[in-house]
A and B are shown apart, each in its own frame.
Chain A
Amino acid sequence: MIESLDPRVNRAAIELDNHIEPLSPLDQWETYEVFHQKKRGDQHMHVGIVHAANPEMALVFAKEQFGRRGLSANIWVVNTKHVFASTYEDADIFETTSEKIYREAGGYKVMDKINQYKKSQKA
Chain B
Amino acid sequence: MNVAAIKELLYKVADDQLVIGHRNSEWTGLGPILEEDIAFSSMAQDKLGHAQGCYQILHDLGEANPDQIAFSRKADQFHNCQFVELPNGEYDFSLMRHFLYDHADQIRFEMFANSSFEPLAKLAKKVKGEIKYHVFHGNTWINKLSTANEVSKIRMQTALNESWNYALGIFEAGNFEAELKNEGIFEGENALQNKWLEVVCPLLEKAGLTIPEKSSWEPVLGGRKGYHLAHLEALVAEMSEVFQIDPTATW
Chain A residues packing against B (C-beta within 8 Å): 26, 29, 50-54, 56-57, 60-61, 63-65, 68
Q: How far is the CA of A64 from the CA of B42 in the complex (A)?
A: 8
16 contacting pairs across A/B (C-beta < 8 A): A51-B33, A51-B35, A53-B148, A54-B144, A56-B140, A56-B143, A60-B39, A61-B35, A61-B38, A61-B39, A63-B39, A63-B133, A64-B38, A64-B39, A65-B35, A65-B38
B-side residues, CB < 8 A to A, are 33-36, 38-39, 42, 133, 136-137, 140-141, 143-144, 148-149
Given A63-B133, A68-B42, CB of A50 within 8 Å of CB of B144:
no
Q: Is the CB of A60 within 8 A of B140?
A: yes
A116 to B101, CA, bound (A): 68
Most buried by B among A26, A51, A57, A65: A57
Most chain B CB within 10 A, of A51, A52, A60, A63, is at A60
11 additional A-B pairs beyond A53-B144, A56-B144, beta carbons within 8 Å, are A26-B149, A29-B33, A50-B35, A51-B35, A52-B35, A56-B140, A60-B39, A61-B35, A61-B38, A63-B39, A64-B39
Among B34, B136, B148, the residue within 8 A (CB) of A60 is: B136
Q: Which 4 residue pairs of A and B lie closest in terms of their CB atoms, listed nearest first?
A: A61-B35, A64-B39, A60-B140, A56-B140
Q: Which residues of B contact A60 (CB under 8 A)?
A: 39, 136-137, 140
- Nearest residue (CB) in A for B35 is A61
- B39 cross-chain contacts in A, Cβ below 8 A: 60-61, 63-65
Chain A contacts for B141, CB-based, 8 A? 57
Closest to A64 in B: B39
